[in-house]
Amino acid sequence: MSGNEFTVTPWSVEGDIDYDKLVQKFGTEKISPELLDRIKKITGELHPMLKLEYFFSHRDMDKILSEYEKGNKFYLYTGRGPSGSVHMGHLLPWVFTKYLQEKFGVNLIFQITDDEKFLYSDEKSFDDVSRYTNENILDIIAVGFDPKKTKILIDSKDIKQIYPISLEIAKRITYSTVKAVFGFQNSTNIGMIGFPPIQAAPCFLPSIIEGKPTPVLIPAAIDQDPYWRVTRDIAEKIGYPKPAQIHSKFLPGLGIRGKMSSSIPETAIFTTDDEEMVDKKISNSFTGGQPTVEMQRKLGANFNICPVFWYLRYFFDSEKDSNERARKCKSGELLCGECKADLQNAAKPFIVDFKKKREKAKDKVDKFLFK
């Protein structure tokens, strides 16, 4: 990929992403200051991920708020493709979803697309994917969702909950639509081609559970948007409200130019890493710094492309501290070693604590599964 080209699909994110262009390309809306004000009226405070524009785009969030103000509750819906271990980048939208659950007092459906990840990967056996399913569920529970208001739906196990709806959806989506929206090729296996209705189906499950039209709000990274585009097109035809979305950006990885990949473990901090690994990964991280201290003092560094900066900004720094860090980085006052040390000091206790919650989650799994 050359220059400033980028691609974003549900299965691959590449290049330097221009989020404004992406909003145009996908036809979503940026979150406006007015919308933030409306959210603030209900939540009492704005989550840092909204303030700092980690969640930056939406579809119909305004409608969800209007219904909520009238006393009509929505459901939250999000999910996880169990293709590997969970890293800090995965946690951000989940932490945000938990905040929405708390502030709005609403139910959540959490889908695990083990089918999708089995079909997508040439190497993974179904057993491999199932192992990740069980492991990932511990991470999801450790985030702290309300067990009384949260159901985890495992596609291969709970298919009967969604199969009838997915048939209604599948019947109304043509091959030429999914080919255009998802970029399927003649060589794509037909399991993948038939998968989108399975991820669409939980959008309508709340209406069935509640016995009346009940919209969903989907907090997710913007790469999942193609699913919701096709779902929105057919929703009203089959008598359900269109699903609404709130979209996040991506957390850059610790690899060169923000690469993060579960297949290159050095590029991400996993929830199961020990303190030594966390230290080492951060020490070796790519940054926006200059090759030498002298050059950095003189020219300053580029926090925009620096994963260390973004990890600190989204997880640990206050808005004020983060802005100050950005200023000092640009001016050359701050060296990369200092930011790395700050991140190490913050990430280590975070991971230690998360691991404890993950252990405790083992006793809670039953409460979260569909009966």
Taking the complex as a whole, how short is the minimal distance between the CB of residue 203 and ligand TRP, in angstroms? 9
Question: 123 with 335: CB under 8 angstroms?
Answer: no
H or E element that contains 12: strand 12-15
Taking the complex as a whole, how short is the minimal distance between the CB of residue 190 and ligand TRP, in angstroms? 18
- CB nearer ligand TRP, residue 81 or residue 300: 81
Choose one: 34-42, 46-54, 66-74, 218-226; the region binding ligand TRP (CB under 6 A): 218-226
Neighbours of 211 (CB within 10 A): 7
- CB nearer ligand TRP, residue 207 or residue 224: 224
- CB nearer ligand TRP, residue 161 or residue 224: 224
Q: Residues 6 or more apart from 189 whose CB is under 8 A from it?
A: 119
Q: Can you say whether residue 132 is alpha, beta or left, with left for phi > 0 and alpha for psi between -120 and 50 degrees?
A: alpha
d(Cα 194, Cα 198) in Å, to the nearest integer?
8
- CB nearer ligand TRP, residue 115 or residue 342: 115
- Which of 173, 220, 254, 361 binds ligand TRP (CB under 6 A)? It is 220
d(Cα 105, Cα 148) in Å, to the nearest integer?
11
Choose one: 50-58, 94-102, 108-116, 331-339; the region binding ligand TRP (CB under 6 A): 108-116
Q: Is there binding between residue 28 and ligand TRP (CB under 6 A)?
A: no
Between strands 29-30 and 55-59, the pairing is: antiparallel
- CB nearer ligand TRP, residue 11 or residue 41: 11
Window 287 to 326, contacts with ligand TRP (CB under 6 A):
none
Window 45 to 104, contacts with ligand TRP (CB under 6 A):
77-81
Question: 110 with 206: CB under 8 angstroms?
Answer: no
CA max distance for the chain: 67
Taking the complex as a whole, how short is the minimal distance between the CB of residue 219 and ligand TRP, in angstroms? 7
Choose one: 42-50, 109-117, 307-315, 317-325; the region binding ligand TRP (CB under 6 A): 109-117
Q: Residues 6 or more apart from 292 whose CB is under 8 A from it?
A: none
- Which of 57, 107, 111, 322 binds ligand TRP (CB under 6 A)? It is 111
- Which of 17, 108, 218, 234 binds ligand TRP (CB under 6 A)? It is 218
- Which of 101, 107, 113, 133 binds ligand TRP (CB under 6 A)? It is 113
DSSP line for 123-174: S--HHHHHHHHHHHHHHHHHTT--TTSEEEEEHHHHHHHHHHHHHHHHTT--
Q: Is there binding between residue 139 and ligand TRP (CB under 6 A)?
A: no
Question: 289 with 336: CB under 8 angstroms?
Answer: yes
Taking the complex as a whole, how short is the minimal distance between the CB of residue 311 and ligand TRP, in angstroms? 20
> What sign does the CA torsion over 167, 81, 367, 46 have?
negative
How many whole angstroms from its chain centre is CA 336? 27
d(Cα 342, Cα 274) in Å, to the nearest integer?
17
Taking the complex as a whole, how short is the minimal distance between the CB of residue 97 and ligand TRP, in angstroms? 9
Taking the complex as a whole, how short is the minimal distance between the CB of residue 187 and ligand TRP, in angstroms? 20
Taking the complex as a whole, how short is the minimal distance between the CB of residue 112 and ligand TRP, in angstroms? 8
Taking the complex as a whole, how short is the minimal distance between the CB of residue 364 and ligand TRP, in angstroms? 21
Order of strands across the sheet that contains 150-154? 29-30, 55-59, 244-248, 216-221, 75-80, 108-112, 150-154
- CB nearer ligand TRP, residue 200 or residue 301: 200
Window 185 to 214, contacts with ligand TRP (CB under 6 A):
199
Taking the complex as a whole, how short is the minimal distance between the CB of residue 178 and ligand TRP, in angstroms? 14
What residues line the site for ligand TRP (CB under 6 A)?
Answer: 10, 77-81, 111, 113, 116, 199, 218, 220, 224
